[in-house]
Structure 1
């Protein structure tokens, strides 16, 4: 027959850290951050990347590294709105993201013009590696699929924890997971560099598929 022990007996002779004495502070700060995150997301909204809004992605390779600000300013002076530039692979490789155009043919023409402006501004001969058109309808499907994946994951966690342990624990787990995801997204929206999409750091540069996968990864770790 198994012997039962009280909590006091199990902790006898051991140092007990009373974390729950800060429960009111913890819940207060957590609730404040949750409300603040929801407000920030509601006011600013997500900085949707081209994976969701649609647009043109142009990958080029230059002969030598260039100043990204100079290239961006040259594109803006040439009449291109909201050009998003970032390095990939090496400092000579540039990925240019442009807002949506009406069709794939327009995307090819847009890509040729962008490369021409970059060649003129840098006095180099850029090599085009890829020009890809993502339609807005495809972006809408991706956004819907991502939302459904998030909901499905939370429901599956709720069912598993509910049957494996207790339903009240399952509800608490799902609320905690949603809490972590909301606060993380709120921080990303609050610190997003919308005017500097190529900014390298711990800020969100646009809600893209990669970011969506990363946020989904928060749930199992939570």
Structure 2
């Protein structure tokens, strides 16, 4: 990366920025046409803890319930042998107990607890979750506007917005279940992407103050190159950890892990490209950071 010429590096930044914009547009289209596969946290349903024969495997139980209930049932294994947490949508189903659906595959069926999440509660979760994301974005906008020039702030905000929409687009394309853990992952992506954008923007501002007569394009490229190794190491180590969580965490953490993986990759690309390319297009230049001395005598005359 450091060995690339200034011209080629600029082309790389513009190429990544254009790719991010295209992905943003495609994600918006898929979200609009396909929508989301809302989880039980938002749609409502039944959550039951049951005790079954310890010899039963997860795939066996899930396959039977998926066929019997005609839906994608969530099945989480507890610490105790034979104890499971089952989450399913009871809309359109008869009043038959979950024990009756499990009895054909298990001689021992003990319902430990059962609770129903109503659709009204699910709707409140949708509203509160969306409000949390909007408030988070507004607070970030205020912080960036105060700390940086409005052009650097606009680049960081666009990068954050792009990251979130692309993650949502992936869930819309593949119709992955969208639940509260995915919402938590979106907020984590916001913070992670913001961290990269602030570091790069701060470096751009610092170099512009040191080189007031330099060229904007060269300064931005130097700033990105100076922080790229740190960004790559941070993103790489986090991605390895989240990937392990994806592979070993089970189905209950799959959505959370996928959202973080996509968000980290998109966040790294948008921060080093879109986050600094937009300020350049808006006319950011080193002259904006020249400190003008104040004449004390004129001030008090």
Instruction: State the TM-score, normalized to the length of structure 2.
Output: 0.56
Gaps spanning 5+ residues in structure 2: where?
194-301
Name 1:87's counterpart in structure 2.
Answer: 76
Secondary structure in 1 matching 2:111: strand
Q: Report matched runs for 1:1-222 at 5 Å.
A: 17=4, 18=6, 19-68=9-58, 70-72=60-62, 74-75=64-65, 78=68, 80-90=69-79, 92-100=82-90, 110=96, 113-120=97-104, 122-192=105-175, 204=176, 206-222=177-193
Q: Give deviations 1:106-151, integer Å, cap 9, x for gaps.
A: 99x55xx21122122x132122232111111111111000111111
Measure, in 2, the Cα distance between the counterparts of 1:87 and 1:44. Answer: 28
* Maintained 8 Å contact 1:41/1:186: yes
Q: State the Cα RMSD in Å.
A: 2.6
Measure, in 2, the Cα distance between the counterparts of 1:164 and 1:77. Answer: 56
Secondary structure in 2 matching 1:187: helix
* Maintained 8 Å contact 1:53/1:100: no
Secondary structure in 1 matching 2:103: helix
1:93 to 1:38, Cα distance in 2 relative to 1, 3 A: farther
1:25 to 1:140, Cα distance in 2 relative to 1, 3 A: same
Query: How many residues in Structure 1 have an aligned counterpart in Structure 2?
Result: 188
Gaps spanning 5+ residues in structure 1: where?
1-14, 193-203
Instruction: State the TM-score, normalized to the length of structure 1.
Output: 0.74
* Maintained 8 Å contact 1:100/1:135: no
